[in-house]
Amino acid sequence: MKEEQFQISLEIIHELEARGLTIAKRSAFDCEVSWEEWEVSISFRNIFAQIDQSPTQKKHLISLFVQHIFSQLQPRKTQKYNLWARILPFSEKKKLSAPWTETLVVNHLEVALVEERGNSLCFLQPLDIISKGISLNQLKHESFLNLNYAFDQLEWQTFEDGIWGVEDNNGVSSAMILLLGKKFPMKHEKIAVPTRNHLWICSDYNKFPLFELKVRQTYKSHPYPISKEIFSWSEHFESFYSDLE
């Protein structure tokens, strides 16, 4: 076993233990991880190969690897929350029927809240928030719990070396931009939400032209477009839930 691989395995184990997981057994290329009544065997061989191919992406690849393992172990909640955050494109002209929104990126992105009502999702309007008789922070907190749980159930993918993210068909992906900084070590990444079903991150400056092309093509060709703009990572993306801390 190479010294570099040994150090990688130590970093992974450290991250897993930091999340409260227990390392039951460990060998040169695999280990057994447990949490409460859940247990899984994991191999380090794939992550070693990925890092060997893209050594500059080591920190990011380890984060994705750990996130995937954690999602396999996280037991399902018994409590069901019915509020979700949704990312919307900025709209200057608001109709009377427009939902309540909070600005995320001036002139580009807004955040709304949607509520599960039977088999449909309904945007909360200002009067809906007042009629519920609880604070806006409480409503945000409920959406945070739901989104945080969904975050660990999604399949985070690497599309190209240095380009990664998540895609789905239920509108949750774009909202994950609100939790990125809490889940991954974000610093100088570029971020895009071309549609409500896409959240993409570029961690490699050399891949930016490809990233930009991919974003603009998806914005034009997919339903529910949000923005063709590419944003630099900032802690401001965490502002929607900052009052909850």
Angle at 188 between CA 187 and CA 194, to 5 degrees: 110
**Pairwise pLDDT comparison (232 vs 13), residue with the higher score:** 232
**Residue 2 pLDDT more than 50?**
yes
Q: Is the pLDDT of residue 106 over 80?
A: yes
Return the pLDDT at 75: 52
- pLDDT number for residue 36: 66
Confidence at 72, pLDDT banded by 50, 70, 90: low
Q: What is the pLDDT of residue 78?
A: 40
Instruction: Read off the pLDDT of each residue in 73-99 and give the average, rounded to a whole number.
Output: 74
- What Cα–Cα distance (Å) separates residue 125 from each residue in 3, 80, 89, 111, 136? 57, 22, 17, 12, 12
Q: What local confidence, expressed as pLDDT, does residue 65 receive?
A: 85
Per-residue pLDDT tens for 119-141? 788 999 888 888 777 888 889 99
Amino acid at 58: K
Q: Which tens digits make up the pLDDT trace of 175-218?
A: 999 999 988 989 899 999 999 999 999 999 999 999 999 999 99
Place of tokens 């380890």: 62
Kindly report the pTM of this predicted structure: 0.70
pLDDT of residue 79: 41
Q: Tens of pLDDT along 3-46?
A: 888 888 888 888 888 777 788 777 778 888 877 666 777 888 88
Task: Give, for 212, the enclosing helix (H) or strand (E).
Answer: helix 208-221
Counting residues of the chain whose pLDDT is more than 90, the rounded percentage is: 42
Q: How would residue 81 be classed by pLDDT, with cut points 50, 70 and 90?
A: low
Residue predicted with more confidence, 239 or 70: 239
Residue 245: what pLDDT?
60
Q: Is the pLDDT of residue 154 over 90?
A: no
**Which of the pair, 94 or 228, is modelled with greater confidence?**
228
Nearest to 33 by CA among 1, 78, 66, 2: 66
The number of residues in the chain equals 245
Q: Residues 6 or more apart from 213 whose CB is under 8 A from it?
A: none
